[in-house]
Structure 1
Amino acid sequence: MEGLLAAFSNGSYAPHGYCLLWQPGLVWTHVIADAVIALAYFSIPIVLVTLIRRRELAFGWVFWCFAIFILACGCTHLMAIWTLWQPVYGLEAAVKVVTAVASIATAAVLWPLLPKAIALPSPHKLAAANAELAAIVAERDAVLKELREQIAQREDIEAALLQSQKLEAVGQLTGGIAHDFNNLLQAVAGNLELIARKPDDADRVVRWSASALDAVERGRIVTGQLLAFSSKQRLDVSSVRLAELIGGMRGLVERAVAPLSTLKVEPIDPSWNVETDPLQLELAVLNLAFNARDAMPEGGTLTISAELRSGVVAPDLPAGDYVALTVADTGTGMPPEVAKRAVEPFFTTKGVGRGTGIGLSMAFGVARQSGGVLTIDSEIGKGTAITLFLPLAATEPVREVQDDAAHDMRADLSGCRIALVDDDDQVRATLADMLRTAGAEVEEAPDGNAGVALVKARRPNLLIVDFVMPGMSGADVARLVREEDPTLPVIVVTGYAESERLDSIAGPQVSVLRKPFETHQLLRCVADMLGR
């Protein structure tokens, strides 16, 4: 061992250049070759280290082993240059020992990794996998597109079903509505006949005309409710005063259960406001009334009540404050298996042609979209109680501020030239008289084409046109005349229900006045449009 150590430390050796006979060509060839190899060896570890630090590789630690091994190999070539002039063969041997250890360690860790490296996917397999992934993504996108289309189609179907249910509700009310309108017409006709017989009796004429106007107002309320039911609208949740809503639709519910059953409405706290869509809640209550009527073929009592509940009021609802609106009947009741399926769309136990099976599901949907839930409590022979849990609103309902002085308004339309277009002779004559009493100059036209020609010829200050007319509609007339004169104010009068078509013609110089209206409403609208 001492001899071996002495051999490493003994400095009496001749330099390697001596073996080359100090031939410059051979010496510098060795120097340049070893230097180039050493530089290459030193650059390779730099590349490997940079790659390891920039990328997350599966076998990164193996690259570190390669870097150390290659760095050691570069050092052996530097020692080869150094020993050309200095016989430090012991140091050169030590560098080679380090290189040998690094090579053995690298080989020892590399061979076990060979199966794993072979198992790595080839570029061809990666390309195939990428293509397969792209196909999956494309298929997913196609499925998502189809899903969106199905959702849109479902929304259209739901809207159509809701519209169908509204029309069915209107249809079921037809008998009661006809009865009420006959009474209203009788009141109007009777009072007008009395006025015609005694036109000089001023006191009685005032009383009779007030009675006739009151009948017209009651008719307007009924038609307004029917138009609201038949209109196409989405759920618009807002704060609603429940007592006013139930009180306002009491007449409709009474007609829904008439003539065999009676309606009882328990007092509802007027301070209770709920988050819901008022029109949809009215329709839901009306549908529940229809179901109750059918469940009481021999007659009975329909009771509407409400109470405030707090905390966890139902399993599917978070804790909070809710108003429980209950519609209860004294009818036949439902067995448990029917009650479990009662809110399913199209599920009905009624005979063919007697029900669609979407009334209760629609009420359930209204409660759900309002942030509440619907529960059913029913017992055979004792009746059914449907409860709508609606969130208590934190804000007060927005009220429309009405100007009471409007009824006493005396509009002065002197000097105003107004074009009036309406296909109904009686309505047109009445509107013309209303306007002329305020001093306006009125030019009349019986249809859309004549109205457009009238506007072009007379250049009025304002156009009043009926919305629904045969041939050219009021919307067409308004569009044509405003193409020539965009500043011309237009008032569209209508009793039409579909709000979307009316909204399409709205604008800063276009106003919509819904029939029936009173003289002060027409004159106020005209004055506002003319800036008077």
Structure 2
Amino acid sequence: MLSLLVALSTGSYAPHGASMAWRSDLLWGNTAADAVLALAYFSISLGLAVLIRRRRDFAFGWMFWCFALFLMAGGFVHLMSILTLWRPFYALELVIKGVTAAASIATAIALWPLVSRVISMPSRTQLAAANAELESLVRERDAALAELRDHIDQRGELEAALLQSQRLEAVGHLTGGVAHDFNNLLQAVAGNLELIARKPDDIDRVVGWSASALNAVERGRSLTSQLLAFSSKQRMDIDSVRLGELVSGVKDLIERAVAPLGQVRIERIDPGLNVEVDSLQLELALLNLAFNARDAMPEGGILTIAVERRSGAIAPDLPAGDYVALTLSDTGVGMSPDVRARAAEPFFTTKGPGKGTGMGLAMASTVVRRSGGSLAIESEEGQGTSITLFLRIATSQPRRIVGDDAKSDVRIDLTGYTIALVDDDAQVRGSLRDTLISAGATVEEAAEGNAGIELVRRVKPDLLVVDFAMPGMTGVNVVHKVREEYPDMPVVLVTGYADSEKLDSLPSPQVVVLWKPFEAQELLRKVAGLLGR
């Protein structure tokens, strides 16, 4: 008792192990248990620390650090339990227990709010169901995208069909005027040839008559080129175009479209205005708008074409920028608000049965929209109609067409060359043969495609001249067959038919296309160019 009172008064206490000295198994059992617990706590803490440092994407990582700190403190408490069995370090043990208590309280405070959040998180089953639903939505989206692509393809086909139908309708509208023009051209050619036949010895006058006939042929070539361009299927080929030159080039067709009662007035167009558009499609759009203007002016009137530059936000469906406004204004009957609202719809027409397809404005709208522009309509009943095509200003200069020397009188010598000539028309073939022979060439002939291929195999000519439109096998087919065996053979393909898809398939280089009608000198120049003369 005395020793206990002394210890209490001096603060000198015996270690815990003193009370177990009489039972060594209890002493060493407690030591072993505390050692194992301390080692486990330290190991778990270290594992949590390594896990969180390497997987920083774990949610609630800070909570793991709290657990690690708590377990680490608990490990030190068990170490102190071992130490105080042998030494009375109770003050240090108290400090460590205080740290452990603080860590445990902080961990508990942080844990309980987290429990509700974790409970609210979706379970594995819920995640699997959500994932299945997401996969279903993805499949539905893919199916919708595939359907949308199909609709886009169908729309492209419908737009191509629309453009083609409008080309053919335009040609139909022009048939009467074109027939009249061709009769005049044929009369000019026939009259001059008859004069030459009557007085072949009058050299000076023969030269004049032949020049007049050739001029009529040139006018006919220009007209057929426009008609073939309108009637053929062609891709949208958007490029920089000189707007003034385009309008001037199509002026004659527009005048025929509004004839005989209507008149066309074209205001001055700045020659420096270039737009991004497919030139042939824009010409066709202008022609169809001219037909609409003619129908809107049954008693006659004036169709005015004007061009001006505009900048900024000029239309609701166009981004702000620089544009050209191409406006066609007629003095016709105009449109009511209801008609104006539907005027650009495909197949909508106020004309009677058989008098219109309702495609003119729809086709023009399609052309300008695919060129990055827009179409606007201004009209009042009895006040006429103005159709404005907004076209993007081109950022590059149009490609310049270098003038050739087809009419040059330079003598071309083809002596020593053998040329294979394939054409089913005997008169055309005879003319081409005489032209080539007059330049010194040796000419071998065939009247159809298969015979032409055999001719090439037998003669092995220096160059092949072949017509495009032949029965059985076209000139393009002949070129493909010949090029399989003689890939470097130069070819001149003669054609008066605009089939752009087949012509685009021609192998190149060393293949040139010569459009009918052409002058003899132009044929010789093409041949000499391919032969390097």
TM beyond 0.5 = yes
**What is aligned with 1:47?**
47
Structure 2 residue runs of 5 or longer lacking an equivalent are: 1-6
Letter matched to residue 37 of structure 2: I
Cα distance in 2 between the residues matched to 1:7 and 1:63? 43
**What is aligned with 1:34?**
34
CA spacing shift, 1:93–1:319, aligned 2, 3 Å: closer
Deviation at 1:301, TM superposition (A): 2.1
Letter matched to residue 410 of structure 1: R
Deviation at 1:203, TM superposition (A): 1.4
Query: 1:84-118: per-residue Cα shift (whole Å, max 9, x none)?
Result: 32122343344334434433443344344434322
Deviation at 1:18, TM superposition (A): 5.8
Cα distance in 2 between the residues matched to 1:230 and 1:9? 121
RMSD across aligned positions (CA)? 2.6
Contact 2:262 2:302 in 1 (8 A): yes
Name the SS of the counterpart of 2:305 in structure 1: strand
Cα distance in 2 between the residues matched to 1:93 and 1:248? 105
Letter matched to residue 499 of structure 1: S
The question of 1:281 aligning with 2:282 is answered yes
Letter matched to residue 469 of structure 2: V
Deviation at 1:216, TM superposition (A): 0.8
**What is aligned with 1:438?**
439
**What is aligned with 2:139?**
138
Deviation at 1:256, TM superposition (A): 0.9
**What is aligned with 1:299?**
300
Cα distance in 2 between the residues matched to 1:332 and 1:385? 12
The question of 1:453 aligning with 2:442 is answered no
Contact 1:72 1:95 in 2 (8 A): yes
**What is aligned with 1:332?**
333
Please report the TM-score for the alignment, with normalisation by the length of structure 2.
0.91
Contact 2:17 2:85 in 1 (8 A): yes
Name the SS of the counterpart of 1:407 in structure 2: coil
Letter matched to residue 90 of structure 2: Y
The question of 1:158 aligning with 2:174 is answered no
The question of 1:407 aligning with 2:404 is answered no
Contact 2:422 2:466 in 1 (8 A): yes
Deviation at 1:59, TM superposition (A): 3.6
CA spacing shift, 1:15–1:531, aligned 2, 3 Å: same
Letter matched to residue 296 of structure 1: M
- After superposition, residues 78-477 of structure 1 pair within 5 angstroms as 78-310=79-311, 313-317=314-318, 320-393=321-394, 395-404=396-405, 407-477=408-478
Deviation at 1:125, TM superposition (A): 2.2
Compare 85-94 and 223-232 and name the one that shifted more. Answer: 85-94
Contact 2:480 2:507 in 1 (8 A): no
Cα distance in 2 between the residues matched to 1:429 and 1:455? 19
Letter matched to residue 248 of structure 2: G
Please report the TM-score for the alignment, with normalisation by the length of structure 1.
0.91
Letter matched to residue 131 of structure 1: A
**What is aligned with 2:4?**
none
Name the SS of the counterpart of 2:85 in structure 1: coil
Cα distance in 1 between the residues matched to 2:251 and 2:182? 17
Letter matched to residue 290 of structure 1: F
Contact 1:20 1:27 in 2 (8 A): yes
Letter matched to residue 39 of structure 1: L
Letter matched to residue 248 of structure 1: G
Compare 51-60 and 436-445 and name the one that shifted more. Answer: 51-60
Cα distance in 2 between the residues matched to 1:382 and 1:116? 72
Name the SS of the counterpart of 2:477 in structure 1: helix
Cα distance in 2 between the residues matched to 1:381 and 1:315? 27
CA spacing shift, 1:530–1:108, aligned 2, 3 Å: same
Contact 1:332 1:383 in 2 (8 A): yes
The question of 1:68 aligning with 2:31 is answered no
Name the SS of the counterpart of 1:83 in structure 2: helix
Letter matched to residue 46 of structure 2: I
Aligned residues: 527
Query: 1:413-439: per-residue Cα shift (whole Å, max 9, x none)?
Result: 111111111111111111111111111
Residue identity over aligned pairs, in percent, reads 64
**What is aligned with 2:532?**
531
**What is aligned with 1:3?**
none
Structure 1 residue runs of 5 or longer lacking an equivalent are: 1-5
Contact 2:20 2:26 in 1 (8 A): no
CA spacing shift, 1:197–1:154, aligned 2, 3 Å: same
Letter matched to residue 218 of structure 1: R
Compare 325-334 and 505-514 and name the one that shifted more. Answer: 505-514
Compare 370-379 and 418-427 and name the one that shifted more. Answer: 370-379
